[in-house]
Structure 1
Amino acid sequence: MSTHPDPYQYVVLRCVPRPDREEFVNVGVVLYCQAAAFLDVAWQVDSDRLHVFAPGLDVDRVRDALRFVDGVCAGDARAGAAAVQSLTQRFGLLKAPRSTVLQPGPVHGGVTADCAAELSGLLDRLVR
């Protein structure tokens, strides 16, 4: 934890079962702070909510995609080639738009002295 506020960026991760309808449910948040060398994700999948929102959705596929994001953030073997990239490059990978069931929203920013607490607060406000 830093003693002074550092700038950070974050993206909300969205479950988008049918991109043609432009509907989504927020399922996670990725927070990156270069000054604190922090990159992490917090997520919560509400299976009941997703089944009501998109009957037939493979919720395990959504969880698998989020576990991949965990691996990218941690830089571990689950992330494949992304594991050896810098934090900046890994965040760049995670914030890039793609046409899968899990998509990042726009990049937002702020300042915080406690990245982990900020990530938890964003999850509470934007996902839960």
Structure 2
Amino acid sequence: MSYQYVVLRCVPRPDREEFLNVGVVLHCQSADFLDVRWHVDRDRFRVLDPLLDLDQVCEALTFVEGVCRGDDRGGAAARQSPGQRFGFLKAPRSTVLQPGPVHGGVTDDPARQLERLLEQLVG
């Protein structure tokens, strides 16, 4: 099955264009699959920007979870179809949490592929 994914980046200071990968959103239309996995390494962020509010970053990632899963945490966006929700999440933003470019691949297990991508791209 083909899938698309975006890497979620935390950009503490957009003017410096420095970022750390914090999550992956994967959409597989044929499996009706949309989910996110994320991990925030607080020690790495303290080095990059000691003033960054990491609790706020985690709240934003929890919102992304709600959008992916179609629950109340995702607000109005969560009430759309999975494809529309992925479109919402992959749209460029000028906030601290930003999606990278869309990539794709093929898998027989979208959930397992999401875990692999998290390990490879976020750590």
> Is the TM value for this pair above 0.5?
yes
- Which amino acid is 1:117 matched to? R
Q: Which of 101, 112, 115 is the aligned partner of 2:110?
A: 115
Across the aligned residues of Structure 1 and Structure 2, the Cα RMSD in angstroms comes to: 0.5
Q: Deviations over 1:56-110 (max 9, x none)?
A: 0000011000000000000001111112100010000000011111000000000
Q: Percent identity?
A: 71
Q: Which runs of 5+ in 2 are unaligned?
A: none
Asked whether 1:20 is paired with 2:15, we answer yes
* Residue number among 2, 14, 32 corresponding to 1:7 in the alignment: 2
Distance 1:121 1:83 in 2: 25
Q: 1:86 aligns with which of 76, 81, 85?
A: 81
Instruction: Give the match for residue 127 of structure 1.
Output: 122
Q: Structure 1: 5+ residue runs without aligned partners?
A: 1-5
Residue correspondences, number = 123
SS at match of 2:66: helix
Q: What TM-score does the superposition give when structure 2 sets the normalisation length?
A: 0.98
The secondary structure found in structure 2 opposite 1:35 is: helix
SS in 1 for 2:31: coil
* Aligned-partner residue type, residue 37 of structure 1: D
Pick the structure with more helix per residue: 2
